[in-house]
Chains A and B, each alone.
Chain A
Amino acid sequence: MTRALVFLILLALALPALGGAQSGADLYLQSCVSCHGVGGAGVSPGGKHFGPPLQGVGAQAADFYLRTGYMPVQEASQEPVRKASPFSDAEIRALVRYIGSFGGPPVPKPQPERGNPSEGMQLFTQNCAGCHQVAAQGGLVVGGTAPRLNRSTPTEIAEAIRVGPYLMPRFTERQLNDRQVDSIIRYVQVTQNPEDRGGWGISHLGPIPEGLIAWLLAGSVLVGVAAVIGGRRPT
């Protein structure tokens, strides 16, 4: 009887730690509240710590920023970069559920297998390649960098398109519908496992290194040809 009672008490103590929402709130108070404010209300600039409100961003944005390791950052002025998250998978899920409870769009469920890589490449060229490069190797914008997409998961890509993290614009359903997003993801997957029919991808850095190598190779061949045709017959 006493043993059962002790067990029940222990269970009651352990439940909050096991239960998602509660532990999500705890994690939020530990790691997020100083910049994002109580209940995701945000903290206005002025003090040492400040950050945007999280009400309305939804599980979609929370999942993206936490899974990519973009959050937490030390200061709001820091450019977020992909890194290993300090949170475990279960902790991320708890935090996402907690931040999602402030309201906002849920985590998208893309189906890249429905997508068409050819259409995806066209859409990627029109909408994404300006910054991320057509080979999805990342690039520069004035004031920031556009990341490589070689480790992006389908969910992260779908989230980023709708959220527009950091300096990226976001794309509404009207601009890119979910089926088109599937195609874009499918194309990014192709760039993640390129076929390289030429045998040598040259890091997929694009036309400048390709041109450099073409010039070096073609240049040597041209010099060789010039040497051959420039040689005089013995008289």
Chain B
Amino acid sequence: MRRAARWLIAGLVLLLGRGERQRQLPPGEPVVEGMQPSPGAELVVAGLLGLSALLAIAFIVVYAGGANTQLLGLALGLCFATLAVVSVVTAFRLTPPEEAEEPYPEPSHPFEAAEIEQIADESRRHLTRGKLLGLAAGGAGTALALAVITPLVSLGPVFDTSRLRREPWRRGVKLVDEQGRVLHADDIELNTLHTAFPEGANPDDIASPIVVVRVEPARLDLPEDRRDWAPGGIVAYSKICTHAACAVALYRAPHFQPSRPRPALVCPCHYSTFDPATGGTVLFGPAGRPLPQLPLSVGPKGELIALGAFSGPVGPSWSGVRE
């Protein structure tokens, strides 16, 4: 870091001090001792820089094509590892050794600035392919910078967000469990937590999984417009936490209610706690909005069916969610 800053300052000084060339140091003892040119090491460094640029580009390509997290990590990790090797080779083979007994001069005075310029000059005098190295370093840096900011694209409106809005639930869709068996109202006993999916839909869709619990009808306190959503006290909510999209997999089901905390759906990641009796409102934790509720009804054979779509957008809030 400090070295980079030093080079930056040296570069600035070079630009600023161009007009004052006439005050150059008298040709005398070089500040930096010379170094044998090593074109082989230069080629290796240039090649590795090229490789790291390719790996950074690979990161962008993987991100664009589905973003397999393991490949993403591999690409970025190898890119950094290559840059580390570049630093090591550069330090050992391309940077002239120097014993500094005094700190470098402040670049305030033209004379001292000229000295820095001389140091910089002498440090790269032995390089045979200076331009190539500069190009390679610039390319690798640009590629890496692009790779690092690529994920920002997902925040913007240019990408297709329809997948986040896709909802497999509509009137009449049956609820099935993990094994695909149709869930009946009788299966939902008090103090049990069931996970359900829409029959025939892709269970991996963010809006597919729901949790189904039975609340004692006397304790139900749903909003006015959701009165008919809970046949026999059976309520269903999206299983995807509105905080960070973890699965709401815990059910706090008190055995004896007068003395215990009330029943609640809890997300195990950050303990967001939702009240199934009042429409999924947040009781505790970092979640910012209630769990979306799915209106339920009971079919002719006692099977549970959806009455329509969720009460709100599923999953964590994103730029397209307006409460």
* Residue ranges of A at the interface with B (Cβ–Cβ < 8 Å): 45, 50-52, 75-77, 126, 130-131, 140-144, 163-172, 174-175, 229-230, 232-233, 235
Residue from the list A142, A144, A232 in contact with B284, Cβ < 8 A: A142
Is B13 part of the contact surface with A, judged by Cβ < 8 Å? no
The verdict on B99 contacting chain A, using a C-beta distance below 8 Å, is yes
What residues of chain B have their CB less than 8 Å away from a CB belonging to chain A? 33, 88, 91-92, 97, 99, 187, 189, 191-194, 249-256, 258-261, 264, 266, 268, 271, 273, 283-285
Task: Kindly report which residue of chain A lies nearest to residue B250, judged by CB atoms.
Answer: A130
B268 proximity list for chain A (CB < 8 A): 130-131
Is the beta-carbon distance between B255 and A131 smaller than 8 angstroms? Answer: no
Contact B251 A235 (CB under 8 A): no
Q: Which of B97, B258, B273 contacts A235 (CB 8 A)?
A: B97
B192 touching A170, Cβ below 8 Å: yes
Partner of A77, one of B33, B192, B253, B259: B259
A131 touches B250 (CB 8 A): yes
The distance from the CB of A145 to the nearest CB of chain B, in whole angstroms, is 12
B252 and A76 form a contact (CB under 8 A): no
8 pairs from A and B in contact (CB 8 Å cutoff): A50-B259, A130-B268, A142-B261, A143-B261, A144-B252, A163-B255, A166-B254, A233-B92
Q: How far is the CA of A77 from the CA of B259 in the complex (A)?
A: 5
How many A-B Cβ pairs are below 8 Å? 80
Q: Judging by beta carbons under 8 Å apart, are B285 and A174 in contact?
A: no
Q: What distance in Å separates the Cβ of B87 from its nearest Cβ neighbour in chain A? A: 9
On whether A235 and B250 interact (CB within 8 A), knowing A77-B259, A164-B255, the answer reads no
Do A169 and B259 have beta carbons less than 8 Å apart? no
B258 and A164 contacting across the interface, CB-CB below 8 Å: no
Is A172's CB under 8 angstroms from B258's CB? no
Residue of A whose beta carbon sits closest to that of B190: A170
Q: How far is the CA of A197 from the CA of B188 in the complex (A)?
A: 42
Q: Is the CB of B255 within 8 A of A52?
A: yes
B252 touches A164 (CB 8 A): no
When the two chains form their complex, are residues B258 and A45 in contact, meaning their CB atoms are under 8 A apart? Answer: yes
Which residues does chain B contribute within 8 Å of A232, judged by CB atoms? 97
Q: Which residue of B lies closest to A46 (CB)?
A: B258
Q: Which residues of chain B have C-beta atoms less than 8 A from A52's C-beta?
A: 255-256
Residue of chain A at shortest CB distance from B253: A169
Report which residue of A130, A144, A168, A171 has the largest number of chain B beta carbons within 10 angstroms of its beta carbon. A130
Contact assessment for A167 and B271 in the assembled complex, using a CB-CB cutoff below 8 Å: no
Contacts of B33 in A (CB 8 A): 235
Q: Contact: A169 with B191, CB < 8 Å?
A: yes
- With A131-B268, A141-B252 as contacts: A169 and B258 at CB distance below 8 Å: no
CB nearest neighbor in B for A142: B273
Contact, CB under 8 Å: A169 / B251: yes
Give the chain B neighbours of A171 by CB distance below 8 A.
192
Instruction: Determine if A172 and B266 form an interchain contact, defined as CB atoms under 8 angstroms apart.
Output: no
Q: Shortest CB–CB separation between residue A67 and chain B, in angstroms?
A: 17
Contact, CB under 8 Å: A144 / B261: yes
Q: What A residues does B283 contact at CB under 8 A? A: 142
- Give min CB distance, B312 to chain A, whole Å: 22
A172 to B212, CA, bound (A): 14
- B276–chain A nearest beta-carbon distance, Å: 12
Q: A76 to B260, alpha carbons, bound, how many Å?
A: 9
Kindly report which residue of chain B lies nearest to residue A51, judged by CB atoms. Answer: B256
- Complexed CA–CA distance, A174 and B88 (Å): 62
Residue of A nearest to B88 (CB): A229
CB within 8 A of A76: which of B192, B193, B259? B259
Give min CB distance, B274 to chain A, whole Å: 10
With a cutoff of 8 Å between Cβ atoms, the chain A residues found around residue B266 in the complex are: 141-142
Contact A167-B261, Cβ < 8 Å, known A141-B250, A142-B271, A235-B97: yes
Do A235 and B192 touch across chains, with their CB atoms under 8 A apart? no
Give the residues in chain B near A170, CB-CB below 8 Å: 189, 191-192, 253
